[in-house]
Amino acid sequence: MTTHQVNAVRYDAGSATHVSEQLAVEDVLQININGEPFSVTMRTPGDDEALVRGLLYTEDVVPAHGTEYRYDETVDPRTGRVLRADVSIDPQALNADVAKGRSLMATASCGICGRKEMRDLGLGGEPLRPSAMLDVRWLPEWQAKMQAAQATFTRSGGSHAAAFFSLDGQCLAVNEDIGRHNAVDKVVGAVIMQRALDVAECLLVSGRVSYEIVLKAYKAGAPFIVAVSAPSSLSARASDELGITLIGFCRETRATVYSHAECVGPEEVSP
């Protein structure tokens, strides 16, 4: 289950009522590579293989999304939740730093925990180039599709979502998690498992956009990021440098383009 029922007391205008509430589940997942601990991450259980495959790709642990490796899970027999994910892979296929023993500690809120220096964050590389322009008039429909798939948020109000669309409007995957970056890793992993990463050009997220979200989108080759809320200043600068069109405050018919507006249509712009 992705939500957990708790008893609570709700106050409204000073009047108290006993209620039953659904909370998004936050639980630990240990990730081992070739029998050695690599990461302990806090996430919402579910789509764990997609999370692991997306995390290993966006964190540059496995340098190519076509890299083959074995994935196994250890499940708690009492709850049915995955406690540990074990990845078995040819050491020659691993990033050199990981092969030497680099590990990653992550929480549900921070996608760059465990990085000790700014140079480890990976900013740099050839700018992305989209295969076509993005028509902002399609975005309300795309957001509606993502929202319709947010079952955990509907029950708890406490989860984030990410979705991947192709530029012809196909919804490739929608995933939820209590952590924003986990939701992105899950959706990246989902399209990798579908072998659809090459056409997944538009990443939608349900919250704000921070620097680590931009890095994950860049690693996934997504030249468009669309967010319900605001971007940070660093995410806007990074998007500009990396060739990513960053769109924030996308609500109903409104949207604000913070970088590479030339990749967005229709072309009429009021003074």
Catalytic residue numbers? 110
Phi and psi at residue 48, in whole multiples of 5°? Answer: -70, -35
Cα-Cα-Cα-Cα torsion 93, 109, 122, 134, nearest 10 degrees, comes to 100
> Which residue has tokens 């604000």?
256
Amino acid at site 194: Q
| 170 CB-side CA count, 13 A | 9
End-to-end alpha carbon distance in the chain: 50
Angle at 196 between CA 113 and CA 124, to 5 degrees: 40
CA–CA distance, 28 with 45 (Å, rounded to integer): 8
From the list 220, 264, 261, 214, the residue with the least C-alpha distance to 242 is 214
Contact 83, 30 (CB under 8 A): yes
Strands (E), the chain: 3-12, 15-24, 27-33, 36-43, 70-75, 82-88, 104-105, 134-135, 160-165, 171-177, 202-205, 224-227, 245-251, 254-257, 264-265
